[in-house]
Amino acid sequence: PLVLQDAEQRFAVHPVLDLVAAPNPAQGRAELFEALYGQLLLSGNAYLEAVGAGAGLPLELHVLRSDRMSVVPGADGWPVAY
């Protein structure tokens, strides 16, 4: 089971749990994690894109292919984007 908790309590109901249970129209929780772990095992990296409207909670989660990602370095050398 997936557990969501903070320092004080464990949440049985939370919007993040709902999002992970149905991350996008094409995948359920198991398929999302299978794709995410697959990317992690194949390339050593795994990326999720959170899709939504505005600054609120994302509406969908999508696994991105690690081999198509690149780091955009900032002036100080730290990543500013992927």
The pLDDT value recorded for residue 60 is 97
The pLDDT value recorded for residue 53 is 80
6-36 pLDDT per residue, tens:
999 999 999 999 999 999 999 999 999 999 9
Give me the helices (H) in 1-82, please: 15-21, 29-43
Q: Mean of the per-residue pLDDT values for the chain?
A: 95
Q: Where are the domains of the chain?
A: 4-65
Predicted model pTM = 0.84
Residue 18, CA distances (Å) to 14, 46, 49, 57, 81 in order: 7, 21, 16, 11, 27
